Amino acid sequence: MTKASLWLLPAALLGVTVSAAADPTGSNQFEMSSSGNSSTSTPSFGTSFGMTDKLTTDNRFGSLYTQPRRRQPELDLPDLGSGGGRFIESNQHKAIGEWSLQQLSRSAPLLNDPWSQEQLERMAWQINAQARTQAPLALLLINNASINAFAIPGGLMGIHTGTITESGSMDEVSSVIAHEVAHLSQRHYEHREDASRKALLLQIGGLLAAIAASAADGDAAAAVMMGSQTAALNSQMAFSRSNEREADRIGMQLMAKSGYDPRAMPKFFATLNQKAQLNMSKNAYLPSFIMTHPLSSERLSEAQSRASSYPPVALSEQRDKLVFDLLKWRLKVLTNQVTEGDLLAAAPKSKGATMALAYWYASRNRYQQANERFNQLKNTKLNAAYADQVAFDILLAITEAQAAAIRGRWQDAEQILIPFYNVYPERRDIKLLLSEAWLHLGNYNQVISAVKPIVDNRSYDTEALFRLQRAYELMASSERQNKPALANIYAVNALRYRGQGELWQGRYSDALISLQQAKSLVEKAETSNSNEVSTRSLLANINNEIAQVNAAKEFKP
């Protein structure tokens, strides 16, 4: 474990999926079940082990959602009809979304910071719920300083860290999310003739390639993006101006219904336009968001005019002010975009910068200075909305626990997080860091109990899957001498989790190796196991999982 952010694990370490915890007595052997039909023409890649087909609209946050400022009229959503314009069925959309998620998990520079994801998902899922469309598959946070966001059929959305750090408020960030949700809800990727399907997939493929290329070279990524968009334009598949106007209009309605200020959308467009002009003056590539979402002067003017029809929102009523301050500075420090001087200059007027400074000190072994900042934050009296207060308290606990973990003080990290886990047992960010502490402290069953519900709702969650894999691996190691049969059960569970994690990373060959090894262990144990029904059922499940990986490996969108 490095001194950097404790749970920003390398992609190579993230690989597994599970179901239920094995009974330590061995009575609940091979507890993971499997469902799904691998014989369908369009495969679904994440339904094994009792996992849900898609992430349902998240209602875990309860009262953390603040109510909209005013009652808004019903959304004016066009009737999409059910004719030949929809050339991809919903199950095919799902397969494309899952395939895209696997490719991005394998290649893109994802920022796996659970607290930041929690804030963005809370916003995105609420906005998506207002559109009354399919539940989102996942929202990815891409570690890239450029301004960009995307939506892919099947409910996959992504946003670059630079989109947040360049925004001026959470309202502006919500405008990007709302715009992407509008594209998905109106099926702008799909409203073409059947013969244009290849062009659509070329556009999606180019988008994925550009995001992956951005990890190494921003200009190369822009070149890939430009090429894919040119090909798409030649095939009449880029978002049209009418698509963009419709996404702007519906996006503003979604913002208003969710309690965000629609006037923030043209403000963000102005920032984007300014950056584009600056890049053009430097002979540089345009921001990726402009290449995928053309921003004309007419569109900007129309957005400003439409936004002016909404009542102005006072600064005191601005939603998620503190959350945005915390999020913006956390992303800056996690992506190494700030210096100590930057943080010191901003800290007197920013709790987010103060929190980021404490983390910055801890990650560089300057623990006394980190503790001084932590004490300063603990003594702060906030005059903030409830959601802001909760976000602040949890991030303070997480950051302080990370600082303890950097020093190898895992018991201290556990003690910091336990009170919050008791109050917010549903919080993924708390559970993932706490489970990391439990792995170091040998509390493996607690890891399984805490993390399993995450994969029940997010079958693709490689962060959770990795922890479940490690828990079972360590349990197998600890029981190998005294209880070899039980150790074998744990090893099979670890291999199956690892195989599912490798599947969601697009590492299909590795997933097959893991699952074949799990199958081999079960076959060896079958001769000494009196419960033939149990082992035969397990072998059938593993064979089904192998078939699912093969289907994913062979899938061609």
Report for 192-206, 306-320, 469-483: range of highest mean pLDDT: 469-483
State pLDDT tens for residues 452-474: 999 999 999 999 999 999 999 99
Cβ of 352: how many Cβ atoms within 10 Å? 24
Q: How confident is the model at residue 96 (pLDDT cuts 50, 70, 90)?
A: confident
What gap in Å lies between CA 284 and CA 272, rounded to an integer? Answer: 14
What letter does residue 309 receive in the DSSP assignment? T
Backbone phi, psi, residue 191, to 5°: -80, 70
Q: What is the pLDDT of residue 294?
A: 52
In angstroms, how far apart are the furthest CA atoms of the chain?
Answer: 76
Q: Which of 121, 154, 139, 152 is nearest to 44 (CA)?
A: 154
In the predicted structure, residue 528 carries a pLDDT above the cut 60:
yes
> What token pair was written down for 245?
């106007």
> What token pair was written down for 411?
């018991």
Report for 59-63, 114-118, 223-227, 483-487: range of highest mean pLDDT: 114-118
User: Three-state secondary structure along 402-445?
Assistant: HHHHHCCCHHHHHHHHHHHHHHCCCCHHHHHHHHHHHHHHCCHH
Q: What is the pLDDT of residue 276?
A: 56
Cβ of 286: how many Cβ atoms within 10 Å? 18
160 - beta bridge partners?
A: 142
Higher pLDDT, 515 or 295: 515
Higher pLDDT, 47 or 328: 328
State pLDDT tens for residues 286-295: 444 444 455 5
In the predicted structure, residue 148 carries a pLDDT above the cut 60:
yes
What's the start-to-end Cα distance of the chain, in Å?
Answer: 38
State pLDDT tens for residues 241-277: 777 888 888 999 999 999 999 999 989 988 877 775 5
Q: What is the pLDDT of residue 533?
A: 54
What gap in Å lies between CA 339 and CA 165, rounded to an integer? Answer: 15
Q: Which helix (H) or strand (E) holds 151?
A: strand 149-152
Q: Which of 352, 323, 349 is nearest to 338 (CA)?
A: 352
> What token pair was written down for 466?
């990795």
Q: What is the pLDDT of residue 10?
A: 29
Q: How many residues does the chain have?
A: 557
What gap in Å lies between CA 423 and CA 444, rounded to an integer? Answer: 21
Higher pLDDT, 504 or 81: 504
- Which whole number is the average pLDDT over 490-508? 96
> How does strand 156-160 pair with strand 149-152?
antiparallel
- Which whole number is the average pLDDT over 505-513? 97
> How does strand 156-160 pair with strand 138-142?
parallel
Q: How confident is the model at residue 336 (pLDDT cuts 50, 70, 90)?
A: very high
Higher pLDDT, 101 or 526: 101
Higher pLDDT, 2 or 481: 481
State pLDDT tens for residues 16-72: 333 333 433 333 444 544 433 333 333 444 433 333 332 233 333 233 333 334 334
Q: What is the pLDDT of residue 102?
A: 93
- Could you write out the DSSP letters of every residue in 37-52? -TTSSS--SS-GGG--
Reported pTM: 0.78
For 268: left if phi > 0, alpha if psi spans -120 to 50, otherwise beta; the answer is: alpha
Higher pLDDT, 40 or 347: 347
